[in-house]
Each structure stands twice: as C-alpha cells, then as structure tokens.
Amino acid sequence: MIKQTQKSGDQSENISAGRDVVKVGLSLEEARTVAIGVYNENIYKLVGIAQDIIESRVHDFTEKALNSIISENPENLVSLCDPDFQSAFYEAQKTYVKSGNESLEQNLLILLKDRSNKTNTDFHRIVLNESINTVSKLTDRQLNILSIVYFFDFAKMNIPINFDIFCHELEKIVLPLTSNIIVNRNDFLHFEYTGCGSRNQSRYNLLSLIIESYRGLFLKGVERRHQNDISYLEENNLIIPCINNPELIQINALSLANLNTKLEGLPFSENQKQAARNFFNNTHQIDLQEIKNRIISIKPFMLKVFDLYEQLELNQLFLTSIGISLAASNIERLSGVKTNLEKVLQ
C-alpha cells in the first residue's frame, strides 16, 4: 500500500506506539488523500486520452465512495487506515475506471460502503472483499437472476400483515429485476465459474417459499369460540382479526420464524409458546392455486417470476455467500431497499 505521512485533522488523533503512529479517525480531506494515493501508487499508467479518462474516473469514483461512507457513518472513514480495506478500495477503483459502467459503479459503491463498517465480522469482510473482486464479471441480467433467488429464499420483508403492502413491496423490489430477464444453461455455468452459485438438483417451489415467509397473509382464520384460553395472546397483541375474513381470528405473525421472534420477548411458559405455535401452524391457509392467482391478479409481472422457477429451472439455483452479497447490493441499487444481509451471513 501507499507510504505516506498522515497528520491528524480536527476530529482525529495520533497515538504513538514506539516507532509506529496509530491513526484514530480521519477527516474527509485525509481520507481523500489516502484513497487517491493508494490508487496512484498501484495502478499501471496508460497514455494519452485513455490516461485522462482514467484520472477523471478515479477522482469521481473516490469522491462518491467517500461521501457514501460518510452518509452511512462518518466514523467508518477510519477504515482507510486498514491495509485490507485499502486493498478493497483500490480493487473497486481499478474495476470501475476500466469500464466506467454506471450500474457497476453503483454496486461497487454499495459494497464499499458496507465493507467500511467497522462492526463487520471477519467472515462478512471476506465475503465483501470477494464480492468487490467478482461483481464486474457478471452482467446486469445475471445479477438480477441472483437477486430474484436471494429475495425469495433469504430476504424476509419486515412488513405488517397486510396483503396490499406485500404486493407494493413486490413491485418495488422484484419488478425492477424482471426486465428482459431470461435464464439459460450458460448462466448456471457462469455462476459456478464466478463462485456465485451452483445447480442444486433438489427442486423447490416458489409458492412454497412465499408461504414459508408470509403465511400469515394467507390464513383462513378460526372462530374465537373454538380456542381455549388464548387471553394471554390477546393481551399481548398476538391475536388479530383474520385479514381474509374479519369475522374470524388469526395469530399476528407473518411466519413461524416471525412468531418465534415475538415470543422471545414475552413472559410465557414454554407450554404457552408452543400453544401459540400450534395455533399458527394448525390454522388452515387458502388454497395454493388461489394464492398464486391472487398475487398475479394484483401484480401481473409475478407471472414471469413464477415461470422462471417452474419452467426455466431457477428453483435449482443455490447461491453461495458471494452470490448472496452481490444480490443484496444489486437490490439496494435498484430499489433502495437494504435487506437483512448481516443475518443471512451469520
């Protein structure tokens, strides 16, 4: 990495440790100097107009990256003192300036912003480093394929139990991923080559994934008089009118996992918690074909998504940690929605 003397800004300090000086905190100007310096120390030189383009792009990208990091948390600028992060920053600079592609730039900015987070686990840092090295090897269409699989298999929307909100979020997040999308055999081979995914022979149904994550939207409900002693659930807002038949009731949870999360913070006995789980699991749901028809009738673009799984074997694509990371950054780029990547990579 670059060799240079760094002076403290107004919001930073130097801590001496023998001959070494340990930097704590960076001003924006210092961070800019480090980032540009790292690039200039390592990049090969081109000639003529090409070099002028390179220099313009690296300064523009660096400025955007630093501002993105600051917008997340100004304290994360100190990551530029870390050799591993300097290396990741340089790889992102080098990758972008070679092409100048706008969508690639946006994905790299998101990945760098996440990589600068000082609270990342070692595993998360490794995944983000590899994602920065890999993102340029995939087309926008291939990133969208990864993103669709990630969204339905891993990214659980934290929404109220409201079908209209569910459909609105589908449109916001999934619709941008479906433009001109096709899946072919070469995509699977390329995902394996880039370390983003592999073909899994065990098939799973998209509708099953939706129900697993959002079953609370599709319950038929039960009559209150048929339920023994559920007052403890009612008192803690775990019983609501059924959204598909207000004369009946249902558990106030999107999924079994969502219910378990809610139960963790409540002073119930284990028997009471299990009774709540049984209530949720034993409540009948709407017919599967009716659920599919209802989704498609409100959001017709979802027909294409169901076809991707049922006809084009997208249900066989298994994502690696790199594929998951790239899918999450791509969704954030297209919709502005930050998914629960940290939980997925735990």
Task: Please state the pTM of the whole predicted model.
Answer: 0.85
Give the domain ranges of the chain.
13-137, 140-212+288-344, 219-282
pLDDT computed for residue 315 by the predictor: 85
Those residues with Cβ within 8 angstroms of residue 95's Cβ, 6 or more apart along the chain or in another chain: 104, 108, 132, 133, 135, 136
pLDDT computed for residue 25 by the predictor: 63
- Do 204 and 170 form a contact (C-beta atoms < 8 A)? no
pLDDT in tens, the chain (346 residues): 434 444 444 444 332 233 343 344 677 777 777 666 666 665 656 545 667 788 889 899 999 999 999 999 999 998 888 989 999 999 999 999 989 999 999 999 999 999 999 888 999 999 999 999 999 999 999 999 999 999 999 998 989 999 999 999 999 999 999 987 888 889 999 999 999 999 887 667 899 999 999 999 999 999 988 777 899 999 999 999 999 999 999 999 999 999 999 999 899 999 999 999 999 999 999 999 999 999 999 999 999 999 988 877 788 899 999 999 999 999 999 999 999 888 888 7
pLDDT computed for residue 49 by the predictor: 62
- Do 97 and 58 form a contact (C-beta atoms < 8 A)? yes
